[in-house]
Each structure stands twice: as structure tokens, then as C-alpha cells.
Chains A and B, each alone.
Chain A
Amino acid sequence: MSEEKFHSALVPAQGVWWRPVGAQEKRWIQISFVWCMLMFAMMPLWHWKGGQNPSGIRGRVVPKDYRQRTERFIQDYKVGEEKGIPVVAPPAGADIYVEASMWMWRPILHLKQGTTYVLHLSSFDINHGFSLYPMNINFQVVPGYDYGLKVTPNQAGDMRIICNEFCGVGHHIMTGKILVEK
């Protein structure tokens, strides 16, 4: 490499610049490459061994049909009402439907800790964001698409759904409720 002359990046590269890489540079590239592969492997690995994946059962749905399903779900398992919004206590393993619309989440859910449900999310009008407080679990809610997520609450508590996708002037008052009992 003795004939190599260093120059800045403003100067055209002369002659053959396809030269061997310096030792430290090469080592850094190797380390970076291995790290990149490891980070890549983590994702399939988590699908296989990990408990939190955004896969779900995904399908298209006409918003009106989704609304009907939600209403039927509410009729089947309704146990009360709070602030004009139905409260629903589904059995273990049930398909539960939550509908986002400007600007509310329907219905309120009563769930049991350690029990598995399939939580369906969809929107009646525009994009909304499902953000479960205080767990900080976030999913996009898109009109025309049904996102069915298998969930198992691991903590009891009085939780909130915050809408975290901008959905117009009422966006910041759009909250919902999920109660998880022991």
C-alpha cells in the first residue's frame, strides 16, 4: 500500500482506488456485520420463543360489518354501562371486539388476569391508535382491517386505552377503559 496517497473527500479519487482495507476498519466492519446478523436473528427468535409479537390474525372487513360484530359481542356479554358506554365481561378464550370511532372506544372490557382472549381491533371511520395505559402496548387501528391479537393480561388493574393516532379535533378526548381482575 506504500504508493497510497491520502486525500480528502473533495478531491477526485485517482487511479485504482480499489485497495485493501485497513486492519482496524476491517475489524469494525466485521463486528458490525455480526451485530447486524444477530439483531436480525432476534426477530424470528422472538416469534418462536418470545411472548410479544405483533403478528395477529389479519383480515379485511367492511366497517359496517365490524360494527355489527361488535354490537353482537356487546349483546352477548353485556354486564352494565358506564358513561353511556356498554361494559362487557367475555368468557375465557372469547373473541372480543373493540371498535374505534371518532372519538370513542366501544365497549369497556372486564377481563381476567392470566386468561387468554382474542382481541379484535378495527375502526369505523379513520385511522386510530390503540395504546394501553399503563402497559404501553401500542397497535395501529385501520379502517377496513381487522387485527385479531391473542392477548393474556398478566397484571390486574384499571387500565385505559389512549388513542395515539391523530383522528381530528376530538383526538385528545378519545379514551377507553379495560378492567383486569385477579
Chain B
Amino acid sequence: MSMRTCPVTGLKVCPDAEALVRWHAVTAVVHFLIGVSAAILLVLTRWQAVHLLPSDWYYRILTAHGLNMLIFFIIFFEMAVLHFAGPILLNCRQPAAKLGWLAYVLMLIGACTTNGFVFAGKADVLFTSYVPLKAHPAYYLGIILFAVGALLDTSLFFAALVKAKKEKTYTGSVPLVTYGALTAAIIAVITLIHGAMVYVPTFLWSLGLMQMDPEVYRMVWWALGHSSQQINVAAHVACWYLLAGLTVGGVVLNEKVSRGAFFLYVLFISMASAHHLLVDPGVGPAWKVWNTSYAMYLAVLASMVHGFTVPAGIETGQRLRGFNQGRFQWLTKAPWGDPGFAALWVSLVIFGFGGGITGVVIGTEQINIIAHNTLRIPGHFHMTVVGGTALCFMGVTYYLLPLIFRRRVAFYKLAQIQPYVFGAGISLMGIAMTYAGSFGVPRRHWDISFTQAPFGVQFPTTVDLFMAAMAMGGLLAFLGGISYCLIAVVSVFFRPALSDDDLKRGGPGLPPGVVRLPSQTHTAEASEAAHRQGNPGTVVLVGVFFVCFILYYFTNWKILSLLWKVG
């Protein structure tokens, strides 16, 4: 089959790559649907006014939620992003498409196997499966198959880079989006190697063929578990840049800075395991301090840099489009009704102010004493990987639907508010969890009223308030999440395919960036003028961010200092 030319972007699209993007993305959404259905059950159980599930099912569904969301949904989607950022953005043919399908099938078989055993009650170990908790061997085998598939997909992305370079399908250096995806792919390889290092021995152990040390397991498991969060960050930052370009013609202020920041993510990746071992007996303080800070916070520096360059790129893009008055016209006149832009911006804010700040704070060696395994932890990561990554991927979906699936976005009005509903819900839930956690409310806990416990615990009534707020936020996020599934599934399976003419003609269900793509390049004079103007709006935003960061950081040290002396 010949390659088609995209009427919107002018890119040459290989049908094989396109099909791989489609199937990986659709399968991601299916897993999201499982995850979000589990989420509502969890919310209604933790909110003890309802206390829906019995205890065994709470832990079972919690296992399913963690796996389907954090592993299956996110990684299937990331593989779609790789097939997009490789062959499609670089105008080249998909190399070894058959292997791509093999990868897909392996991932699917793996995910189905693991899910089957979880729902059958043969693996109530939560997605971290800390040994010596033991699941059925097939549970581990499923994850191994899934990881092998993902590794294969990732190597095809590298193959596409090589092929495109050899065939000269583009000039200059790969686009920043592809570069970001490349860093995500490199991190994925490192992560998956750690995955093999932990799951293969654990699989053998579950068959009784090997010994496992619980602390070593935790260290290597989190070298997988936390590094994979770095894949998420690199992938969604790449998608922020992608959405900024598609929705408002957001520019890259400085390629050197943005690429350098991506590169920092790669350098310090395997260290993140420490975040989960800060109050563990297996490792010493020097190791903890050095690793938890990714060698003196250089990966945090990278995120802070993107936290400037992404909004500033949007600001400059908007100013170049003529929204140039005052400090903030670029924001007031931003396309808030474009679901791609809405998702980008809300995700940026939640990730920065919510997930980012809380993450650095609770990842501080000593402050972790007042955070470890409390609800502060899920509070934090629902504002990184959910409010940040998942929401950003939702925004990408609204552009993939017309550009790759060649479908109108179904229920477009719903799609326009979906990012706000989901973002508001996750923020409320995340903040409420964070507060409840600071009273010591544990995560992964079926009954914080402790009715059957030998020694009762009575949390203050404010905790009930926060748990109710968590439930409200969770319900809202659930509505947003279900809407997303509905829109994606109906668009893909129940809407007619669009022709090139349909796309150009516009009409309902097409985001503005698809109907009229903002210009992606600018003249030297316009650039010069924009350059001289700088980013007065973004400067204010990062200033506010910085003040919040400092306040939250030192407040936590203050609270810590009031505790018992421990050492």
C-alpha cells in the first residue's frame, strides 16, 4: 500500500504505522475503561459512608486498578505514541510491521493473562506484588509477556529512526517531539531490563525454584516501577510540545534547552527507586540522599525547565498569532474550547502545581517519614500520572481521532468539557488525599474506622471531611474518565470514516487545530520581534509556582520538626 499525505500536516503517513497506532491506542482505552470502572468501586469503598466492597474484593480491585491504569493503559498508549512519533512524524515507512503486530499480540496476551488471574482471585498482591506475598505464577508470566512486547515495540521505534535517517525522509535534526519520544524509549529500555531482572526471578520463585530477598525485590521492583514513571513524564512532556504545536502553533524557544532537559531525564533514571525506600531498613542514608534527589535534583531541574519552556512556547506561539496585548492576552484568547488545548493546559497545571511540588517534597529523605504509605502517596501520583500524563494523552486522543483514525470526535460538546471535569475531579481527589494523608490515614486500607481491630483508632472529624471530598473528586474524575472512553469508542467504531475533503471542509467534531492548523514555522522578522518581546506572562506564572513550591517545602520541614526525635 502506498503512503497517504495528511491533508492537515502534510506528513506522509505509512498505513502500517497508522494501523499500529490505532490498535495500540484503542487497546489502551479499553484498559482505561477497566481501570476507571475499578476506580469508582475503590472510591466508594474508601469513602466509608458507602463502604461498597467487601475487604477481599477491595484489595482485588485495587490490584486490578493499579495494573490496568499504570501499566496496561499507560504503556499501550505510549507504544501508540512511539509508532506516531517515529515513522509518522519522520515521513518514513514502518520498519518490520509484522514485528509490530507480534509485539501488540504479546502485550495483549500478557495483559489478558494477568487480568484473568487477578479477577479470578489468584493474585491478591496489589500491583507491587512485594515478595513474599505470592501470586499464581501465570500472573508474573503475563507481565513478562507484556514487557517483552513493549520492548519489541520500542526497538521498532529505534529502527524507524535509523531507517528515516538512512533514507533521508526529513532534513535537519528530528523534531523535538520525536526527540522527547526517543528519551522516553531509551528510558523504557532501561526500565524493561529492570523489569526482567525482577519478574523473571520472581516467576521462578513462585514456582519454588529460587529464593528472593524482600528488600532486594523492593529495590529492583521500584527501579522498574519508578523509572517507568520517568517514561511517562518524558512521553507526556513530548506530547505537551506536540499539542502546543497543533493547537496554537506553540514554538520551541530554544532547541538546546529543551533537548538538554530531556537528556537529563535519561541520565538519572535508575536512581528513582530510592523514592520508595526512604524509610526502609535495607539501605543507608548516603545512598538515600544521593538517589532520591537524582544526583542533586537534576531531573527535577529538567522538569522545572520544561515547566517554563512549554508555557513560554505557547505564549510566544499565541503572540505570533496576534494575541499580543498585555501580559496575558495570549491566555485569555487561548482556544479554551479546543479539547486538545484544554487537556494540555489543565495537565500542565496539575502536574506542575499538584504532582510536581508534592513529589519533590515527599521524596525528600526525612520528610518521607511523614508521608510514606499514607494517602499522601496516591494523592501525589494521581496528580502526576493521572492529572498529568493520562489527561495529556486524552488531549492527544482528540487529535489522533481526526488525524489518524480519520473520524470526527463524537459528542464534541462533551469532549470540550471533558478535560475540565476530569482535571477538576482529579485535583480535588488528589488534594483531599494529600490532606487526609497528613493525618496519617493509610493508603491501601479497607477500613479506617478499625471496627474489627483490637485497638481502635479514631481519626479527627476533619478526616471524614477530606475523605468525603476525595469521594466527590473521585466521582467527578470517574465521570470525566467514562466520558473519555465513550467519546473514543463511539468515534472509532460508530462514526463513518472521513475523506481528505471532509477534513479540510471542517464541520462539527473537528478540533480547531485540525480544521486550520496554526502555522508551524515563522519568518525571521516575526521571530525576531517575538524574541525581543520575551515571555512576560510566563514569567509571572513560574513566579507564582516558585512561591508555592517554597512555601509547601518549608511547611513540611516545620511539621517534621515537631515530631518525636527519631534517628
Q: Is B507 an interface residue (CB 8 A)?
A: no
Q: CB-CB < 8 A to B521: which residues of A?
A: 5-8, 11
Q: Is A44 an interface residue (CB 8 A)?
A: yes
From 30 to 59 in chain A, residues with beta carbon under 8 angstroms from any chain B beta carbon are: 31-33, 35-37, 39-40, 42-44, 46-47, 50-56, 58
Q: Is A173 an interface residue (CB 8 A)?
A: yes
A55–B289 Cα distance when bound, in Å, is 11
CB 8 Å contact bits of B297-327 with A (1 = contact, 0 = none): 1101100110011001100110010000000
From 146 to 182 in chain A, residues with beta carbon under 8 angstroms from any chain B beta carbon are: 146-147, 149-155, 160, 162-169, 171-177
Q: CB-CB < 8 A to A58: which residues of B?
A: 281-284
Q: Is B440 an interface residue (CB 8 A)?
A: yes
Q: CB-CB < 8 A to A132: which residues of B?
A: 440, 564
A153 contacts which of B9, B450, B564 (Cβ < 8 Å)? B564
Chain B interface size range? 35 or more
CB distance B566 to A54 under 8 Å?
yes
CB distance from B202 to the nearest CB of A (A): 14
A53 contacts which of B130, B283, B456, B567 (Cβ < 8 Å)? B567
Q: Is B445 an interface residue (CB 8 A)?
A: yes
CB distance A22 to B520 under 8 Å?
no
Q: CB-CB < 8 A to B313: which residues of A?
A: 9
Q: Given known contacts A58-B282, A166-B59, is B215 in contact with A144 (CB within 8 Å)?
A: yes
From 236 to 256 in chain B, residues with beta carbon under 8 angstroms from any chain A beta carbon are: 238, 241-242, 244-246, 249-256
CB distance A12 to B171 under 8 Å?
yes
B300 contacts which of A12, A28, A36, A150 (Cβ < 8 Å)? A36
From 150 to 184 in chain B, residues with beta carbon under 8 angstroms from any chain A beta carbon are: 170-177, 180
CB distance A6 to B132 under 8 Å?
no
CB distance from A58 to the nearest CB of B (A): 5
Q: Is B553 an interface residue (CB 8 A)?
A: yes
CB distance A5 to B522 under 8 Å?
yes
CB distance B364 to A42 under 8 Å?
yes
Q: Is B444 an interface residue (CB 8 A)?
A: yes
Residue of A nearest to B302 (CB): A32
CB distance B565 to A152 under 8 Å?
yes
CB distance A173 to B450 under 8 Å?
yes
From 303 to 354 in chain B, residues with beta carbon under 8 angstroms from any chain A beta carbon are: 304-305, 308-309, 312-313, 316-317, 320
CB distance from B304 to the nearest CB of A (A): 4
A56–B365 Cα distance when bound, in Å, is 13
CB distance B564 to A137 under 8 Å?
yes
From 263 to 306 in chain B, residues with beta carbon under 8 angstroms from any chain A beta carbon are: 277-285, 288-289, 292-293, 296-298, 300-301, 304-305
Q: CB-CB < 8 A to B462: which residues of A?
A: none
A30–B144 Cα distance when bound, in Å, is 43
A155–B488 Cα distance when bound, in Å, is 55
Interface residues in A, total, Cβ within 8 A: 96
User: Which of B35-43, B112-120, B192-200, B369-377 is the contact stretch?
Assistant: B369-377
A175–B175 Cα distance when bound, in Å, is 55
User: Which of A70-78, A91-99, A121-129 is the contact stretch?
Assistant: A121-129
Q: Is B368 an interface residue (CB 8 A)?
A: yes
Q: CB-CB < 8 A to A56: which residues of B?
A: 281, 567
CB distance from A151 to the nearest CB of B (A): 5
Q: Given known contacts A4-B531, A25-B309, is B251 in contact with A10 (CB within 8 Å)?
A: no
Q: Given known contacts A7-B520, A25-B253, is B454 in contact with A31 (CB within 8 Å)?
A: no
Q: Given known contacts A9-B245, A14-B172, A175-B450, is B285 in contact with A142 (CB within 8 Å)?
A: no
A86–B128 Cα distance when bound, in Å, is 33
Q: Is B455 an interface residue (CB 8 A)?
A: yes
B305 contacts which of A19, A32, A129 (Cβ < 8 Å)? A32
Residue of B nearest to A27 (CB): B539
A140–B371 Cα distance when bound, in Å, is 12
Task: Name the residue among A125, A139, A152, A167 with the largest chain B CB count within 10 angstroms.
Answer: A139
Q: CB-CB < 8 A to B316: which residues of A?
A: 6
Q: Given known contacts A5-B527, A9-B250, A10-B177, is B293 in contact with A40 (CB within 8 Å)?
A: yes
CB distance B442 to A151 under 8 Å?
no
CB distance B373 to A127 under 8 Å?
no
CB distance B250 to A133 under 8 Å?
no
Q: CB-CB < 8 A to A11: which residues of B?
A: 175, 245, 520-521
B-side residues, CB < 8 A to A, are 9, 55-56, 59, 89, 124, 126, 130, 132-133, 170-177, 180, 213-215, 218, 238, 241-242, 244-246, 249-258, 277-285, 288-289, 292-293, 296-298, 300-301, 304-305, 308-309, 312-313, 316-317, 320, 360, 364-366, 368-374, 438-440, 442-448, 450, 452-457, 520-524, 526-528, 530-531, 534-535, 538-539, 542, 546, 549-550, 553, 557, 560-561, 563-567
Q: Which 5 A-B pairs have the closest CB atoms?
A: A8-B245, A147-B281, A36-B297, A9-B241, A164-B442
A-side residues, CB < 8 A to B, are 1-15, 17-19, 21-25, 28-29, 31-33, 35-37, 39-40, 42-44, 46-47, 50-56, 58, 83, 85, 104, 116, 121-122, 125-127, 129, 131-147, 149-155, 160, 162-169, 171-177
Chain A to chain B contacts (Cβ below 8 Å), 26 pairs: A4-B524, A4-B527, A7-B520, A9-B176, A9-B258, A10-B89, A19-B254, A28-B304, A31-B546, A40-B296, A46-B365, A52-B369, A52-B567, A53-B285, A54-B279, A56-B567, A58-B283, A131-B373, A138-B369, A144-B215, A151-B566, A160-B457, A165-B130, A172-B450, A173-B454, A177-B455
With A4-B531, A54-B368 given, name 5 new contacts (CB 8 A).
A4-B527, A5-B524, A14-B171, A15-B172, A138-B372
